Amino acid sequence: MEQQREAGSIGMWVFLVTEIMFFGGLFMAYLLYRYKYPMGFAMASNHLQWKLGAFNTIVLIFSSLTMALAVYYAQTGVRKLQIVFLVVTMILGATFLGVKAVEYYEKYQDNLIPVQGMFHWNQEETPFKPGVTEQQVQMFYWIYFAMTGLHALHMIIGLGIMSFLVYFAWRGRYTPEYHAPVEISGLYWHFVDIVWI
């Protein structure tokens, strides 16, 4: 059992390193284009809802806490509380995705989806500053949707994994001697939270 747990843990850490490189590339693209087009990125970022972003950050911080508690109760063999905290983590994850869907819908309503025919910056409401082009603002939204969309995909995968954890916890599969899947899934969930923060 111990070898299996260690192998699973090492496998998850290797996977997380590849994910760090993947998201690191996206962050690097953001930094490079923000450096190249500071005014365009500043104008575009003014259309983001910082209150919704702050709320989502708080939601994910609490979801990390509830996931850590689920792991703790799996380690100590308290099945009922393990299930409760897994379900609470799932509710918090779904809340995050719901808020993100509201943000995406607002961007859709404002014609800020960066694809052919769906992107239109309202010049009457917010005219471009000298040196800023629509392509610069559109680049911001390309990166924004790529990063947040891929993060949301990772959240959805995490929620799917947790639904299996809840099912197996309900059936009494996890004990103080065998709880590696919960620990490994906790690592994944914490990584997804850290990427957001």
Q: What angle is formed at CA 109 by the lines to CA 104 and CA 115, rounded to 5 degrees? A: 70
Q: Is the pLDDT of residue 5 over 80?
A: no
| pLDDT of 54 higher than 80 | yes
Note the pLDDT of residue 99.
Answer: 98
User: Which one, of 37, 62, 56, 57, lies nearest residue 139 by Cα?
Assistant: 37
Rounded CA-CA distance 33/91 in Å is: 35
**Residues 89/70, Cβ–Cβ less than 8 Å:** yes
Q: What is the pLDDT of residues 7-34, one digit of tens each?
A: 777 888 899 999 999 999 999 999 999 9
Distance CA 182, CA 82 (A): 9
Does residue 76 carry a pLDDT above 80?
yes
Question: Residue 184 above 80 pLDDT?
Answer: yes
Domains of the chain with bracketed CATH: 2-196 (1.20.120.80)
